[in-house]
Structure 1
């Protein structure tokens, strides 16, 4: 079962790597490999199954694309609001809208399409499940095409969103149907409102909203930075850890209550507890908005609990494999997200480090060993997906995981459950959860302020990834000191391999995709020049932080020798401040230094020149006045 699941995952990964969108059916004849009575041949056939399944699913999703003729034109559409609408810091309202049809002079035409919309001015209160008639302007999914940065287009594809756009102010925008007051989304909205009313708009409220109902829209950029720096982002979102905790608590309580009530003569207590824990995990997953991490956790918990009904006890690896197969069967495109690799990778690492390697180890030694080696096990996935590593993550997680699991989540969920039945007790429990998360946050901020605690990792090649995985396996697979030393040497060799650089006398120039504007990165053998940084927007988004900084980290740079801002217009200088907050620069020059808004900017004048690594640079304009 394990190798079968891995083979299907490999086939899906191959498809998503090369994306043969039109040619994937040509692999159908390779299914004959399944008929050959040789194990490697059958595994290859299962990889073909994963390849074809992913191709068919992607073909179905792409069939729902926005027709090109409708792009960038005003459309009157009808549809339903899905999920919790998000009020952004700049005042706009962002929400997911499931379009059913659009109207023209010739009538109403079907358009089954899920889109992501922004409502910028005078947005009314929107609620999940409401039907609206809106005048919108849509465009096909698009994201910046730069190495090292966030792939927004891939994220939209994995989320099933096939267009983005905004609501037009002009037009007959009106609500044409209300939502059911008893839907899951209505309950989530009610809980969000209650949390805000009882706890106010403090930073603790945004964290509790994320933990209680999966609403992370109010978390600030500073909060995300602290979580990223300490490696604890998984704790402040509903993940497998929290769903598993809820399921475990319900299992223990129901099993003891069932036995105490003497009901075991009718049905085994462990069976009743297993079904109750699955139901609890389902409710919590639904309250989280049924996000992908919660879906995976629900599937894994269901497989594990239902395995207890089998006459033969299943191994943990068999259960892990079944859960992986179910997730890939439901949505093979989830392999486009780091969550699948990190969640299943973390569980696999825990199983590998725990099952069969306990020996005479004490309980605390096993916990400490697991906590220290788990970040190492996840290093390959973290390097590929994020190109960064938190030095303090093991220590921060040792303290934060039990704190969240026992002092934040239980009183929070108990308080939410008591809201309609016992408001007074609910207030006490929610206040307890807020105080606990406040103390936790103070500790995380202390960890985040440690100097040099976040390492940025440069791009890794295919051969580098091979040696990284090999070193990780050597370090974890054996308790023999020579093998572990070999693993450490391999990891060190990969970590200290220098990034590619031009030869002396050569220059590499990369024009980055920043939308409307310009940003160019120029490399010589030992120097780096950045020319312009792209725009910044009222929403707080800027391409200096979102594009230029990740790209320079991806290249392995820690210092900019010279930053040149051609002129002070936003589409050229908007990202400069964010870039300088992340990188030190040896010299900052500009064509309009007085209006750039940056400190210590030297004026650019025609005739200025310098030589780097046998490459000559010269400023051509503006001339001296």
Structure 2
């Protein structure tokens, strides 16, 4: 019954976070009344005995779990203190504690950090203009801060006073892409900002205290691994700091499905707990042999060893800074050890249910984490595989093969649902990597760290051995990555994933009287697998001549995707923020893969500015491109291994499925560009009925001659505003010539340029032209059809925006803040 209670509890908590608006207190009353009424009707109805038994044994605990889950998550969400909207976008003075290890981007020659990024737990916040002064003792809110040109690096556990400027928790939102705002929410981060270099000077108010031990360990590991080519990997495995893992190493792990090995997960804590169990078991045997202590003799070995496993797992969690993912992994492992500790028969499904209940009870937003679902699914698959009679009779090495095969196949639907692709080399790569990390790599690293406190000579030898062994593994992963890529499967519906797992676990659990599984259940599972991966009944289909345009939300940058029946065209690739993140990785590639688009027939990069061309390298690395053009092809080619781009010129045109893509500028008949922005490729897309015009960062200086030369060709139904809404673009003459039905701005949330500017917005409002802004609406999508005017007044159809498609009560909307309210648009 407990398992069904946990099922209802977890499902209710998850459903609560999917609500578009926060429910009122009356919702609990209505939910209670509805569930109790439904239960009473079925409970007292005249039902056959088997049905009544199922009702009592299954439905009743699920209903109780639903009620308890709703009360718990409602209370947790209601009581969690939120920062007031009035403190954002203005200087505030804060006092708080640095939590987790700060990430240092670059150290200058003078020893200063160009940027330090860290989580800051607020103890007091003061904002003078609104006379806001708040102190917290419990439920302290957390913000994410960046300190540029920092003279010193704050350490975990230190208390500081800063003057900062905050933005509310808000992030780009795109179809098929990672929801970073939800990620921040489930981590408890309420806002992000930066330390001001004027005003109140940063002051350290207290030292790190006991947290200084972790800082000293982190510094020691930095020195220990400094000369190793696997420095970032080693630090991630020991203390959970993944900031130094290089972009190429991340790419190899992603393509081989081994990225989970770089997070301190249940696997790692289970390894450490196992080592602790074995170590304390040896200590117990030594104590029995050499001591006469009565309590030692009366303590069973398994109890003593279990406490050792829990102790080692807890120390490992402390090394990782008690992060929320590590807490989840610790609870899962400790739950298993508790069954051993109290000497009860281990019940896999009860242990799994207990772990899930404790994790969600401790931190309800955990259900929003991908790691939560992947971890529990993986453990459930392992339990299911080990229950098979075939596996139980197999020798140990074959059991490992069966488990890895089960994980590779069993996790494919969940991974496909999150990332829209499956790493084809995952089985082979994990077959090598998991035993290596579990049995050799991680234990040897811990031994190296321990020895490093005793002997420099021995440490040097052990580090050499570590590098050699990991070089062998990395060579194998690189080989697999180069030969086996991804199977792109497109966007999976939630019901497809649930159906497959339901069929899988039901098939594994149903047996006949003689204990053999029903043969036909394998066929049912195969049909379920086919439905999940091959059937996309809700995927919109484009007819010949129709096309879809998606203006992606890439912050203060631009990236558009045009889709026809048979072709895909990308215009611009967004900005580049670091070696690990750019517009292509953030939005373009996830969206294309969610639509099962693996080839680009045409790539147009307006010009070489980073906010338009920052994702070019990542896009070319992961996507086949038939033809590429740019207004500054030579500049872009210089940054690539081989020349890919050709100059875009007036007269170039391409036709795909009845949709024409043509370049209007640059042209010999127009003035030569004097800056990067005016070198932009101006793209016109039309199907003969509807038209989209994309001018890149074109300024008014080039808009005027274009209007004079091509006035009749500029008319468009949809205009993507030039230069993100800058006052130097989208002039009155340009608007008059284009005469758009709608305008879209691609800009960043509360950007420092204040795009779109009031000047441009007033022009639109004066002409009654509706507009939308990716900063507030997320990715914005339109469909241009061939509908006649008799049926539809226009061929331009607004499909949706990402925030409209995925409303969440905890999301921060532009309308809630005076600074961004006027930037929201429709």
**Do both share a fold (TM > 0.5)?**
yes
Asked if residue 175 in structure 1 is aligned to residue 176 in structure 2, the reply is no
Q: Determine helix, strand or coil for the equivalent of 1:191.
A: helix
Rate the CA distance shift 1:124–1:253 in 2: closer, same or farther, 3 A. closer
Unmatched tracts of structure 1, length 5 or more: none
Task: Please state how far the C-alpha of 1:597 moved relative to its aligned partner.
Answer: 4.3
Quick one: which of 181, 198, 204 aligns to 2:230?
204
Residues 409-424 of structure 1 correspond to what in structure 2 (within 5 A)? Answer: 409-420=442-453
Rate the CA distance shift 1:280–1:614 in 2: closer, same or farther, 3 A. same
- Correspondence for 1:437: 470
Deviation track 1:357-388 (CA, whole Å, cap 9, x = no partner) reads 34533333332222112222212221222222
1:521 and 1:487 mapped to 2: Cα distance? 36
With 537-546 and 89-98 compared, the bigger mean Cα shift is at: 537-546
2:368 and 2:351 mapped to 1: Cα distance? 23
Rate the CA distance shift 1:157–1:290 in 2: closer, same or farther, 3 A. same
Rate the CA distance shift 1:597–1:308 in 2: closer, same or farther, 3 A. closer
**2:558–2:573 Cα contact (<8 Å) kept:** yes
**1:473–1:487 Cα contact (<8 Å) kept:** no
**1:240–1:293 Cα contact (<8 Å) kept:** no
- Correspondence for 2:393: 360
Task: Please state how far the C-alpha of 1:585 moved relative to its aligned partner.
Answer: 2.0
Q: Determine helix, strand or coil for the equivalent of 1:261.
A: helix
Asked if residue 546 in structure 1 is aligned to residue 569 in structure 2, the reply is no
Asked if residue 45 in structure 1 is aligned to residue 59 in structure 2, the reply is no
- Correspondence for 1:601: 645
Task: Please state how far the C-alpha of 1:97 moved relative to its aligned partner.
Answer: 1.2
Quick one: which of 529, 535, 539 aligns to 1:491?
529
Count of aligned pairs:
620
Deviation track 1:424-483 (CA, whole Å, cap 9, x = no partner) reads 555554554444333322322222222x33223311124433554356447755755543
- Correspondence for 1:109: 133
- Correspondence for 2:115: 92
Asked if residue 534 in structure 1 is aligned to residue 574 in structure 2, the reply is yes
Rate the CA distance shift 1:196–1:590 in 2: closer, same or farther, 3 A. closer
Deviation track 1:44-91 (CA, whole Å, cap 9, x = no partner) reads 331232234223323344x323x3222222223222211111112594
2:148 and 2:343 mapped to 1: Cα distance? 59
Rate the CA distance shift 1:89–1:501 in 2: closer, same or farther, 3 A. farther
- Correspondence for 1:16: 17
- Correspondence for 2:73: 54
Task: Please state how far the C-alpha of 1:14 moved relative to its aligned partner.
Answer: 1.5
Rate the CA distance shift 1:589–1:153 in 2: closer, same or farther, 3 A. same
Rate the CA distance shift 1:620–1:60 in 2: closer, same or farther, 3 A. farther
Rate the CA distance shift 1:575–1:397 in 2: closer, same or farther, 3 A. closer
Quick one: which of 153, 159, 162 aligns to 2:187?
159
- Correspondence for 2:287: 261
Residues 235-384 of structure 1 correspond to what in structure 2 (within 5 A)? Answer: 235-262=261-288, 265-310=297-342, 312-355=344-387, 357=389, 358-384=391-417
Q: Determine helix, strand or coil for the equivalent of 1:234.
A: helix
- Correspondence for 1:6: 7
- Correspondence for 2:604: 564
2:95 and 2:580 mapped to 1: Cα distance? 31
2:420 and 2:605 mapped to 1: Cα distance? 27
Task: Please state how far the C-alpha of 1:232 moved relative to its aligned partner.
Answer: 1.3
Quick one: which of 192, 198, 213 aligns to 1:187?
213
- Correspondence for 1:402: 435
Q: Determine helix, strand or coil for the equivalent of 1:86.
A: strand
Rate the CA distance shift 1:229–1:25 in 2: closer, same or farther, 3 A. farther
**1:407–1:436 Cα contact (<8 Å) kept:** no
Q: Determine helix, strand or coil for the equivalent of 2:173.
A: coil
1:16 and 1:187 mapped to 2: Cα distance? 37
The RMSD of aligned alpha carbons is 2.8
2:182 and 2:197 mapped to 1: Cα distance? 30
2:240 and 2:608 mapped to 1: Cα distance? 41
Asked if residue 613 in structure 1 is aligned to residue 641 in structure 2, the reply is no
Q: Determine helix, strand or coil for the equivalent of 2:261.
A: coil
Q: Determine helix, strand or coil for the equivalent of 1:92.
A: strand
